Amino acid sequence: MNASAIAAGSMLGLLAGRRISGRIRATLMHGLGLAVIAIGLKMALSADNLIPMVAV
């Protein structure tokens, strides 16, 4: 089910992407990036056990 939804969304995006101008496409990508940052910050700030990441 998930794979078919991803494939259908990809096809829809490819078809719709040709009709969307570059400026609108860039605005959508910036909006999605901000949404991902907001969700990540919300999840990071609500975590109970914050273990610092240490590169080994």
The pLDDT of residue 45 is above 60:
yes
Q: Chain-centre distance of CA 32, in angstroms? A: 5
Question: How high is the pLDDT of residue 50?
Answer: 64
pLDDT digits (tens, 9 = 90+) for 9-41: 899 988 888 888 889 989 999 999 999 999 988
The pLDDT of residue 52 is above 60:
yes
| CA 34/CA 18 separation, integer angstroms | 24
Kindly list the domain boundaries of the chain, sorted by start residue: 21-46
* Claim: this prediction has a pTM higher than 0.75: no
Question: Both ends of the chain: CA-CA distance in Å?
Answer: 39
The four Cα atoms 51, 36, 34, 9 give a dihedral, to 10 degrees, of: 170
| CA 9/CA 55 separation, integer angstroms | 37
